[in-house]
C-alpha cells in the first residue's frame, strides 16, 4: 500500500495590524478550499497566520500586544475554519500566538486532522531576535520579548498515515530541529515562517534570504530522509518586506513545488512517504551509521568553548 499524502502549502500575503480575525479566517478558508480542489489531504498555513507579525513593534507593557494572542484553540473566531476543514475532510496546520490560562505566551502550531480535531501541538523552540527596545533598527524583531521558549522540545505525531513533525520559522535554520525530529522517525516536517528580508544585525545577509531558506530546509530534508514543507507569510506587511518562496522539498533535497508569486497562493505536491525509506534505510541509516558518543557536545554545551590552548 502506498502512503501518499497530498500536501498543500498555503502561502499568505500580508495581514494588516487592524485586520480582524474574521477577515483573516475567510482568507484561510479560501486557501483551504483551494487545497480541497487540488485534492489535498493536508493544508499547511504559515507561522502567526491569524495576525500581523506584531513582534516588529515595541510596547512598554509586555501585554501590549495581547489582542494578537489566542486564549483557546479553536475559539469562536477560528471555529469556521475547523468546521470547513471537517466538511471538506481536509486537515490543516495553523500557526498562532498562544496565551495560556496561566499567562505564558508561545509561538504555536497546531495540527488538525480531517475530522477537525487537534492531533498535535508544537511551541517554537528557537526564539530569535531581541527582548529589549532597539530603536536604531528600522523595525524591531521582539520575539524574545513576546514569546517564551518552548519547554516541550520537538515531538512527532502519527497522523495522515505517517509520522509528522512541526517547527516554526527560525527553528528551520538549526540542524538540531530536523535531527531530533528525524530520530523520532519524522517523515513529513511542517514549517511556517515570517522572514523579513532586512536582517539588521548583518544586512549582508539580506540578498541571501531565499538562498538560506532553501539551503536549510533542503539540507534538513535530505539529511533526515523526510519531506519538508516550508510556508511563508510574505510580501510587504505594515511596511516590512518578508520572504515568500514557499516550497515543498522531497527527501532527496529537491524542491518539487515552489510559489512563484507572493500573496495568498496554494502550492501542492503528492508526497510519497515511502520515499523517505530510500534515505532513512541507506545513507542516513541512523541505527547503523550515527555516532552519538562523538556528538556529546551537542547536548552538553550551549555556546562555543575552545579547548585549552586553541
Which residues are designated catalytic?
47, 124, 169
Write the CB contacts of 160 (distance below 8 Å, at least 6 apart in sequence).
5, 41, 42, 91, 113, 188
The three grid cell numbers given for residue 296, joined into one nine-digit string:
556529546
233 binds ligand CDT (CB under 6 A): no
d(CA 299, CA 288): 21
Phi, psi of 297 (to 5 degrees): -60, -25
Q: How far is the CB of 128 from ligand CDT (least distance, A)?
A: 4
One of 194, 244, 247, 262 touching ligand CDT (CB under 6 A): 194
195 binds ligand CDT (CB under 6 A): yes
Minimum CB distance to ligand CDT smaller for 194 or for 224: 194
d(CA 293, CA 304): 19
Minimum CB distance to ligand CDT smaller for 179 or for 245: 245
The 154-183 site mask, x for binding ligand CDT (CB under 6 A), equals ---------------xx--x----------
Among the candidate windows 67-75, 89-97, 193-201, 258-266, which touches ligand CDT by CB under 6 A? 193-201
**Considering only residues 8-47, where is the footprint of ligand CDT by CB under 6 A?**
47
**Which residue spans within 104-254 are E strands per DSSP?**
105-112, 118-123, 156-159, 162-168, 188-193, 227-232, 235-237, 240-242, 247-249
**Considering only residues 235-264, where is the footprint of ligand CDT by CB under 6 A?**
none
Write the CB contacts of 30 (distance below 8 Å, at least 6 apart in sequence).
264
Minimum CB distance to ligand CDT smaller for 145 or for 280: 145
Q: How far is the CB of 233 from ligand CDT (least distance, A)?
A: 9
Q: How far is the CB of 47 from ligand CDT (least distance, A)?
A: 6
Per DSSP, 61 falls in state S
Alpha carbon of residue 168 to chain centroid = 3
One of 64, 80, 128, 185 touching ligand CDT (CB under 6 A): 128
Q: How far is the CB of 242 from ligand CDT (least distance, A)?
A: 9
d(CA 18, CA 221): 37
Query: Which residue reads 524583531 in cell numbers?
Result: 141
Minimum CB distance to ligand CDT smaller for 150 or for 194: 194
Positions that interact with ligand CDT (CB under 6 A): 47, 128-129, 141, 169-170, 173, 193-195
Amino acid at each position: 500500500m502506498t502512503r501518499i499524502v497530498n500536501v498543500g502549502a498555503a502561502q499568505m500575503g500580508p495581514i494588516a495590524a487592524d485586520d480582524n480575525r474574521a477577515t483573516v479566517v475567510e482568507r484561510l478558508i479560501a486557501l483551504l478550499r483551494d487545497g480541497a480542489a487540488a485534492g489535498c489531504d493536508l493544508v499547511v498555513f504559515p507561522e502567526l497566520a491569524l495576525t500581523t507579525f506584531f513582534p516588529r513593534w515595541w510596547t512598554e507593557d509586555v501585554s501590549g500586544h495581547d489582542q494578537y494572542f489566542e486564549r483557546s484553540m479553536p475559539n469562536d473566531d477560528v471555529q469556521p475554519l475547523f468546521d470547513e476543514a471537517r466538511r471538506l475532510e481536509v486537515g490543516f496546520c495553523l500557526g498562532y500566538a498562544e496565551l495560556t490560562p496561566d499567562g505564558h505566551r508561545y509561538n504555536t502550531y497546531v495540527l488538525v486532522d480531517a475530522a477537525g480535531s487537534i492531533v498535535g501541538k508544537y511551541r517554537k523552540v528557537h526564539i530569535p531576535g531581541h527582548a529589549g527596545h532597539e530603536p536604531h533598527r528600522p523595525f524591531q524583531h521582539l520575539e524574545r520579548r513576546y514569546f517564551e521558549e518552548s519547554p516541550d522540545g520537538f515531538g512527532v505525531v502519527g497522523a495522515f498515515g505517517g509520522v509528522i513533525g512541526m517547527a516554526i520559522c527560525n527553528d528551520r535554520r538549526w540542524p538540531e530541529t530536523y535531527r531530533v525530529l528525524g530520530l523520532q522517525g519524522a517523515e513529513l516536517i511542517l514549517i511556517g515562517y515570517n522572514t523579513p528580508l532586512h536582517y539588521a544585525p548583518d544586512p549582508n545577509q539580506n540578498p541571501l534570504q531565499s538562498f538560506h531558506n532553501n539551503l536549510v530546509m533542503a539540507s534538513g530534508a535530505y539529511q533526515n530522509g523526510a519531506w519538508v514543507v516550508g510556508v511563508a507569510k510574505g510580501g510587504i506587511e505594515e511596511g516590512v518586506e518578508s520572504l515568500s518562496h514557499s516550497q515543498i522539498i522531497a527527501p532527496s533535497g529537491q524542491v518539487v513545488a515552489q510559489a512563484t508569486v507572493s500573496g495568498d497562493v496554494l502550492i501542492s505536491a503528492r508526497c510519497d512517504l515511502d520515499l523517505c525509506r530510500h534515505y532513512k534505510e541507506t545513507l542516513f541509516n541512523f541505527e547503523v551509521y550515527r555516532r552519538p558518543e562523538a556528538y556529546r557536545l551537542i547536548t552538553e554545551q550551549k555556546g562555543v568553548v575552545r579547548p585549552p590552548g586553541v
